[in-house]
Amino acid sequence: MIICRLCKAAAAISCSAVLFLAAGCASVDHMPLFQSQYPETKHADSASEMAGAKIYTPRLEKAPSFELPAGDGPFDLTLEQAVMLALENNADLRVRQFAPRIEGAFEQIERGVYDPELFAEFQYSQQEGTETSRATSEQFNAGRNTMSTAAGVRQRLPLGTVIEASVEHDRDRSDRAPDQSVTRLGLSVTQALLQGFGPAVNLAGVRQAQLDTLASIHELKGFVEALTASTEIAYWRFVLSGQEIAIFKRSLEIASQQRDEIQQQIEVGLLPETEAAAARAEVARRNQALIDARSQMEQYRLRMLNLISPGPEQGLARSIRATSSPRVESAESIDNLDQRLELARRFRPDLAEASLRARQGRLETVVTKNGLLPKLHLFVSLGQTGYAESFSKSVRSLDEDTYDAAAGIRLSHYLGNTTARGRHESAWSRRLQADAAVESLRKIVELDVRLAANEVERTWQQISASAATRALQQEVLSSEKQRFEVGASTALLVAQAQRDLLAARIAEVEAVINYRIARVRLYQAEGSLLERRGVSLAGTP
C-alpha cells in the first residue's frame, strides 16, 4: 500500500513536472545557483538588429557637427571630423563588427542545450495471420492491431540531470481477446554521479562561448583603436606633407631668384661663368624635392580618404584641406610611467583577449579532467497506469493500485582510458601555453609603453632643438650671403647653406608632427586612446 501511494504521488508529480518544464521555468538563465560569474552579453531582439550589428558600432561621445559636402569637390576636414568619419564609414570596420554577433550566436547555441524539449510519438501496427487451436487442431484467421501514442517533455539540467515527464496511451484490439486501453503517466530521472556531474562541467561550454564573445569584443576594440590611431597619424602626416610643400615652394622661389641674380652679375662681368652651374643645380634640386613632396602628399590624401570612406562614388578623387593645427601648447608628462603601465595592463585589448583565451583553457581542463572519470548514472522511473476497454475509462482508472517503478545504476568505463587521457593532456598543455603567452604579452606591453614614452620625450625635446637649429642655420645663411656679396664666398657655399636651412625647416615642422604621432602611439600602447578621444564601444567592459 505504501508503494501504491508513492506511485500515485509520482503520477501527480509527473503532471506537475510537465507543466513546470513546458513553462520554461527550468531555463539555465533562471537558476540562481548556475548564474555565470562572467559578464553577460546582450542578444539581438530582432533580425534587423542582428543583421546590422548596431550594438557594436563605436561612437564619439561628443561628435563634432559635420556633414560631408555633396559632390566630388574639395572639403575642409579637422582631426576630430576625420576620426568621426572613419568610425562611421570605414569598410573594414563594418566587416569586423559582425564578429561579436557571430560569437554571441554560438553562446546561444550552447545555452540551447538546456532548453526544455517537447516530444510526441504515434505508432500504428496491424497483423493478420492464422493460428491453430490446441483443442481441435483447426486453423482459423487471427487479426490484431495496436495504436501507441506518447507525448511529454524532457530537459537537461546543469547538475548532469535529465528529467522526463510523459503521458502514454496504448490501445490493443485482437480477435482472440477483448479490446484493452492502457494509459500511463510517467516520470523518469537520470543523474550523472561521476563523469558529467555538476554545473562546473556542464556549463563549461556556455562559459567558453561567453568568453569567446568577450574576446571578440576586445578584438574589435583593438581594431577600432588601431583605426583611430591610423586615422590620426595619416591626418598629421597629410598636414606635414602640406607644410613641406609650402617650404619647398618657398625655397624654390628663393633658389630661382638667386639663380637670376647670379646670372645678371655674370652678364655684367661681376662673377665668372662657373658660378651659374651651382645656382642652376640648386634650382633643379629644389624642383625635384617639390615633386617628391607633392607625390607624398597625394599618397597621404589617398590613405586618408581610404580610412574615412567619404562616399562610394568619386571617393578617392576628392581633395582635402586639413584645418587642424599641429601646434603643441604643453608637453605630455611621462613621469607617471608606473601608472601608464598599470593602465596598459587594464586596458590593452590584446592583453585582455589573451587573458580570456587563457581562461577558456582553464575551463577546458575542467571538462577533460572530469572526462577521466567512469560513467556512473543513477536512474529512477515511476509510473501510474490505468487499464480499461476504452481510453476514457483507462484515464479514470489511474487512481487504482496499478503502478510501475524502477531504479538502478549504470556503469561504464574504457580500460586504459587512452582517449580521455590524451584529451586531458592536450588541454592541459594548451592551458600552460596560453598562460605563458599571456605572461609574454605582458612583457611586450611593458616594452611598448616604455618605448612609446621614450619616443614622446625625444620628440618633445626635438621641437626646441630643431627650432634652435633652424635659427642658427638662418644666421649661417645670412653670413654666407654677406661673404658672397663681398666676393669672399661662392655660389656653391651659399647653396649648401640654403640646403642646410631647408633641412632645418623641414626638421622643425617634422618635430612637431612626430611629437603628435608619438603621443598617439603612447596612448595606443597603454590602451587608452579610445577613452581619451571619447570613443565608446557598446559591450566593452
CATH code, domain carrying 508: 1.20.1600.10
Do residue 258 and residue 316 come from a single domain?
yes
Identify the pLDDT of residue 161.
95
Do residue 210 and residue 246 come from a single domain?
yes
The answer to whether position 486 is within a domain reads yes
Residue 156 pairs in a beta bridge with 162
Q: Exposed e or buried b for every residue in 49-63, given b needs 16+ CB within 10 A?
A: ebebbebbbbebeee
Among 40, 494, 5, CA closest to 281: 494
The answer to whether position 418 is within a domain reads yes
Identify the pLDDT of residue 42.
43
Identify the pLDDT of residue 48.
44
- Strand 161-174 vs strand 139-157: parallel, antiparallel, or unpaired? antiparallel
Identify the pLDDT of residue 133.
67
Spans of the chain, pLDDT less than 70: 1-55, 71, 129, 131-135, 137, 139-142, 175-177, 311-314, 389-391, 393-394, 538-541
Do residue 443 and residue 355 come from a single domain?
yes
Do residue 464 and residue 524 come from a single domain?
yes
Q: Which amino acid is at 158?
A: P
Q: How far apart are CA 233 and CA 87, in angstroms?
A: 15
Do residue 276 and residue 413 come from a single domain?
no
Write phi, then psi, for 157 (nearest 5 degrees): -120, 150
The answer to whether position 256 is within a domain reads yes
Identify the pLDDT of residue 43.
41
Q: How many CB atoms lie within 10 A of CB 48?
A: 9
The total number of structural domains in the chain stands at: 2
Identify the pLDDT of residue 26.
42
* Cβ–Cβ under 8 Å, residues 227 and 234: no
Do residue 189 and residue 240 come from a single domain?
no
Residue showing cell 540531470: 161
Its domain, for residue 387, covers 2-40+117-128+141-205+380-424
Identify the pLDDT of residue 44.
41
Identify the pLDDT of residue 131.
67
Burial class (CB in 10 A: 0-12, 13-18, 19+), 328: middle
Q: Name residues whose C-beta falls within 8 Å of residue 272's C-beta, 6 or more positions apart in sequence.
A: 266
Q: pLDDT tens digits, residue range 401-452?
A: 788 899 999 999 999 899 999 999 999 999 999 999 999 999 999 999 999 9
Identify the pLDDT of residue 383.
87
